[in-house]
């Protein structure tokens, strides 16, 4: 399988180089040359396969012969080792819980697959890689946990100071070893800008091997399509129109769903649910994409003002806004609406949801009311609500039970290196 740059379709590499480089040398993102449909027989008989078997078939579609079947299967078994259950709220809506991994967030799926795949490719290469990753919340903890103590790999996680939850910060800053936490005086967009600046710095690239673990890396994105198939398998009545509501920030989760649709999964509609950082929502609704500085919200992982994977969506649908807006519905919601939805689900359904999932539920409600059709919705619950205890303690009269592994993390002392949002500060760290 060849992967081309979104900036130049003639700039191609194989899967190994796409995942090890992270970003193309012309600053574009890698896209598969083709997204081959899976067999109708496989899709119609998903219930006959377990999650790992489904994941293997999808991964093989993108990796082809670059990793032998037995080795690819071992990577899947060691990375997709937890469930992604559907929890029914009513006859028309289910929650896809993606928080059963080690760091209690959906990023665990992609980060663990990518860590084991990189480890496989680096064996015997005598090559050391530095992973540079910007996080608005859960990416940093998932990547740090997945790459902890992996030989030949160092990880630098950049996070915006004071703009991620205390739990998320502790998960990033308490690991040590080959993981370094960089606290940036700025926003997530500043962190992302610093990462991109490093990737195009020729002087730096001549000294160290840099790659990314954000969803700009195709190795992080591909495994996120696994749970779309796994969740579809669990739907009891597949005769309804199936709609997925995706809390959307950097658009990686949404793009992975679009990949799943390209592979033949019969998804009727995607809903891109956003908070006040509504750049993509405005594009879907009026065709104008105008990046802007992100603003801080309760659903902090979605606080992105210039989503990287937008270029992949444009590429996938050949820059056809009419086609994109036909496939994707999008609405944005305020913090007040988010809190009201969390309260409503607790009172009416005895279910505690995190702020991101709440935005997803709001967007599904909006779409269902507008279309007035008999549809079945799946909302992606991207993180365990206990990762946002401050939201509950400051705004609501109830809170989720915190799992033991989070409590243990909170009792550890974190270490960070603080820098400004000026690129020279990051470059100095990388050069040393």
Query: Residues 60, 107, 261, 366: which is the catalytic one?
Result: 107
d(CA 304, CA 296) in angstroms, rounded, equals: 9
DSSP letters, 14-33, are EHHHHHHH-S-TTSPPEEES
- In the block, tokens 């859960």 appear at 138
The answer to whether 172 and 140 have CB atoms below 8 angstroms apart is yes
Question: Residue 366 in 3-state DSSP?
Answer: helix
The answer to whether 401 and 115 have CB atoms below 8 angstroms apart is no
d(CA 41, CA 82) in angstroms, rounded, equals: 26
d(CA 335, CA 258) in angstroms, rounded, equals: 27
CA distances to 78, 121, 235, 273, 306 from 241, rounded to whole Å, are: 34, 41, 11, 19, 31
Task: Dihedral sign for Cα 186, 189, 192, 194, please.
Answer: negative
Question: Residue 381 in 3-state DSSP?
Answer: strand
Find the helix or strand (DSSP H, E) in which 96 lies.
strand 93-97
Beta bridge partners of 305: none
End-to-end CA distance of the chain: 36
DSSP letters, 138-150, are HHHHHHHHHHTT-
Number of helical H runs and strand E runs in the chain = 20, 14
Taking each helix axis as running N to C, give the angle between helix 107-122 and helix 69-79, from 0 to 180 degrees, rounded to the nearest 10.
Answer: 140
d(CA 263, CA 284) in angstroms, rounded, equals: 23
> Is 241 among the residues known to form the active site?
no
DSSP state of 105: B
Q: Which sequence positions are flagged as catalytic?
A: 107
């Amino acid at each position: 399988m060849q992967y081309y740059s979104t900036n130049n379709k003639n700039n191609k590499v194989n899967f190994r180089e796409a995942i090890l480089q992270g970003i193309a040398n012309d600053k574009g993102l890698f896209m598969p040359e083709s997204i081959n449909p899976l067999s109708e027989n496989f899709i119609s008989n998903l219930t006959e396969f377990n999650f790992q078997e489904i994941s293997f078939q999808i991964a093989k579609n993108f990796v082809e012969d670059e990793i032998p079947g037995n080795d690819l299967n071992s990577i899947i078994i060691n990375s997709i080792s937890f469930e992604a259950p559907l929890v029914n709220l009513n006859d028309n809506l289910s929650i896809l819980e993606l928080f059963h991994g080690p760091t209690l967030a959906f990023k665990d799926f992609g980060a663990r697959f990518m860590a084991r795949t990189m480890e496989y490719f680096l064996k015997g290469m005598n090559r050391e890689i530095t992973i540079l990753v910007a996080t608005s919340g859960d990416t940093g903890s998932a990547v740090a946990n997945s790459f902890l103590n992996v030989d030949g790999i160092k990880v630098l996680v950049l996070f915006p100071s004071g703009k991620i939850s205390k739990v998320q910060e502790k998960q990033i800053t308490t690991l040590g070893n080959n993981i370094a936490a960089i606290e940036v005086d700025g926003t997530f967009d500043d962190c992302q800008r610093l990462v991109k600046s490093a990737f195009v710095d020729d002087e730096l690239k001549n000294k160290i091997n840099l790659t990314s673990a954000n969803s700009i890396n195709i190795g992080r994105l591909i495994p996120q399509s696994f749970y779309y198939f796994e969740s579809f398998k669990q739907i009891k009545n597949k005769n309804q129109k199936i709609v997925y509501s995706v809390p959307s920030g950097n658009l990686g989760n949404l793009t992975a769903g679009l990949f799943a649709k390209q592979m033949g999964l019969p998804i009727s509609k995607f809903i891109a649910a956003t908070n006040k950082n509504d750049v993509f929502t405005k594009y879907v609704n009026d065709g104008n994409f105008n990046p802007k500085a992100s603003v801080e919200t309760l659903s902090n992982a979605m606080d992105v003002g210039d989503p990287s994977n937008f270029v992949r969506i444009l590429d996938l649908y050949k820059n056809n806004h009419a086609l994109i807006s036909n496939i994707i519905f999008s609405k944005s919601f305020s913090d007040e609406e988010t809190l009201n939805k969390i309260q409503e689900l607790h009172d009416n359904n005895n279910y505690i949801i995190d702020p991101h999932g709440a935005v997803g539920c709001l967007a599904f409600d909006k779409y269902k009311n507008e279309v007035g059709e008999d549809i079945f919705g799946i909302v992606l619950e991207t993180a365990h609500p206990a990762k946002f205890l401050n939201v509950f303690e400051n705004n609501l009269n109830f809170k989720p039970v915190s799992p033991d592994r989070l409590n243990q993390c909170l009792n550890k002392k974190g270490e960070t290196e603080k820098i400004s949002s000026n690129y020279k500060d990051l470059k100095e760290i990388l050069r040393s």
